[in-house]
Structure 1
Amino acid sequence: MERIKINDHILNHIYKETKNCIECNKCMKNCPMLNEFCKTPKELFKEIINKKEIDLNIPYSCSQCGYCIKVCNENVDLKETFMDLRKYIVKENKGVPKSLNAGSILFHQRSSFSKMFTSFIYPKKDEGIKRVFFPGCSIMAYSPEIVKSTYKYLYEKLPGMGYLQKCCGHPTYLTGDLEKFNIYFSNLKNDIDKMKADEIIVACSNCYNTLKKNTNNIKIKSLWEVISEVGVPDNIKDIGKNIDTVFSIHDPCPTRNEIKIHESVRKIIRELGISIEELKYSKKQTLCCGSGGMIKVTNNKLALNQMKKRAAQGKSEHIISYCQECVESMRQGGKKSVHILDLLFKFPFYKELEFDQVENSLIKKWINRYRGKKITKSKKL
């Protein structure tokens, strides 16, 4: 893999992290990538400092899950260190290095911000917009029908509910291209400002974090908190009480610190009457599903190993999550897996009792996203 020279500013930052590392190896235990490159983070950082260069594959193998900082008593933040290295590499290279084979990410982002995959719904004029539902890309790529059903339910429960289908730009941020991310996010922010809502209700964990970190004067709220507050649809309360299937629950790592989200999801599942088991590493201590940090593109072998490892930690053959990327990762890891929205709005699941998503091809995902625009634009709720 290509090696990149590092300037003194970045080396000084790495040196500070090196001094703080006491080589306790707590971060090594469950990090998807460290064991592939070193015996301790201190060892890795010392090598980088001595050579004044880094293997491009190292920062782009970090899943950005944040487990390291969660378990480190010395606050060594490997996540941000590797993210800073990504930003530095893109700046020095004047773009994302071609050797990363990140063309699919760049295509995804260009397309996601095009008019072809962007749509809005404004509520009735006499209601005015109070809130906007922002589903994100991945759940729409899986099922536009589920997105439609979710919006319809929110609209019934909460007057003044608008809708915005667009990407948050997080994949671009993960490449390290901060300049392009700012352009994309500014595009999104303009659309949000035009809708003049007080609150954005977000389904995707990465979108939730991205919006929360980059917006002011508007409330960002998780879809799971909202459904927990208004309750599940009356016709499916306790629908799972007579079902023998027990689900292992996987928490997405982007919202590992959002206790309200963890509690809300579990409350929703209880209202459905679904039985769950907690994984050993859950909530704040959750582990990466294998898709974090775009490593499925930049280090696919590492990503697949993590998917299998994480999926195997569940005793059940069924895993439930509230992130579509996590659901797909658990399926690739060898388990049957569903999104919580499957259990809320996809009733055939209860008739068939399979409780496993059907994999969509890449083309089907883009078709779904285009269909989703047409479904929402028609306003036939």
Structure 2
Amino acid sequence: MPEDTSTEPTRQTVLSRRNLVKAVGTTGLVATAGCLDSVSSQLSGQQSWPSRPVEIISPWAAGGGADRTSRAVADAAENHTEGTWNVSNQTGGSGSVGMNAAANAKPDGHTIGCMAPEIALFEHLGIADLSPDDVTPLMQYTEFPAALVVRKDSKFKSVDNWIAYGQKNTIKMANSGFGSSWHMAAAAIADEAGVKVEHISYDGAAPAMTAVANGEVDSTAVGAAEVASQVKDGNLRALGVAFDEKVKSLPNTPTLANEGLDIRIGSWLAHFAPPDMTESRKQEIVDVYNSVYEDDGFVEFMNNNGFIRVKRSPKELQQFLQEQYEYYGNLVDKLGISKQ
């Protein structure tokens, strides 16, 4: 359940509003009533929200899960606010470029960032001075397990083929950037399988999948929902999913556990605001996100595209981020992944 973080207006604001009404008198009340919310915002030092287009920054390339779901959020948000919502792609640094841009924006609610497990990895890998402590969590809205993916006509017809080859040869494996959640997933799967891998970085899951489809690399690990359409109608094949059970987006793909690899790993997506945002502004945005999560169009998009809907409130998400920070720190140490 979403946390109740509503705030009461301060006594000073209430008194100022009452004094204003008394000052204009009864005859001026009708003309002034429509302006009271604007005046109250000015008295509290805040403009109304949104007063201009809201920008969601996706830190990875167009076509990946962060981009597609953020656009679905933006479309739904326009049904619940007066104004437009846009998505921009600011790629690089395994997502740190876009996340830093959002974290360093003015905390007025008009710039929102998309984050994933990378926010818990940057400091551990020396990628960026950015951690869960540097953002205002708004809401997690999805998670998706990793899928081990190859080209459709690949010589790897099964997980066993992939393992047998990788134990004697080096497998070229694309990821969405050094230190990204899909780099970690690939490294963890390779470690469990005991195969040799050369990790090759791209600016997101979509370019990584394209590299596999074009034959530039042998395989990749990306979100099951992200790759589902290309498995169904494109040039890719999923060998296994790192989850407890088969997933709806890849119904014919076995779990890696069933293929002999005892591993469960993946990613999640959430939106955040810059730090130092007022509680009242944060609550305005969270209220909209609560409506977005239940919006018919958003629910339909998520279901039709195989994205698992998982909701965490700001308080729950903050705790989860701290747990992720510790988890990925331990995983980096275990896998022996060097800092940049």
Which is strand-richer, 1 or 2?
2
TM-score by length of 2: 0.29
The structure with the largest alpha-carbon Rg is: 2
TM-score normalised per structure 1: 0.26
- Bigger helix fraction: 1
